[in-house]
Amino acid sequence: MRQPINTKKLIGKIEKFANDISSEKGPFILFGLFQREKLINSWDLVICASWLKLHDFNVLKYIENKLRYYIEEDERLSIGRLVTISQDNPWISEVLAIPKNKKGITELKNSELFGHNMRQAFIIKSQ
């Protein structure tokens, strides 16, 4: 069984990663880490951007390869899924309506998002 990762450290690295990608590709509509209730040591990296084409293998590979420069292997293994979402997805407006932390990353605990119970979520970028 894997050891739990340092979440605060991971979030800091993911934030730098998001800043780098947005400076290259453009802004994100949503960029965050979401931990579903039933998956204790696994995170979903959820990305929505106008420049993002859904189901585009090249974009997914670009994101995955770039992520390797920012996080360690054990941290990478804690990200169970890379989820790209269309800006037309009805769940996006629900997440974007969440009041944002004006000082940075918005943290949520025990919330229902995207139709799933989330143990924890970190909204790193959102419009």
Structural domain boundaries in the chain: 7-126
Q: What's the whole-model pTM score?
A: 0.89
| Tokens standing for residue 36 | 């579903």
Check residue 3 and give its pLDDT: 66
Which pLDDT belongs to residue 54? 82
Which residues are CB-contacts of 15 (< 8 A; sequence separation ≥ 6)? 104, 105, 124
Q: CA torsion sign, 62 to 32 to 92 to 110?
A: positive
For range 64-80, the mean pLDDT: 93
| Amino acid 43: pLDDT | 93
- Angstrom distance (rounded) from CA 91 to CA 88: 9
Q: Is the pLDDT of residue 69 over 70?
A: yes
- The pLDDT, as a whole number, for residue 27 is 95
- Cβ neighbours of residue 31 under 8 Å, at least 6 residues apart? 18, 22, 46, 47, 48, 49, 123, 124, 125, 126
CATH entry, 7-126, from 3.30.300, 2.60.120, 3.40.50, 3.30.1360: 3.30.300
pLDDT at 1: 53
pLDDT at 116: 85
Residue 4 has pLDDT above 90, yes or no: no
Q: Quick one: average pLDDT of 52-56? A: 85
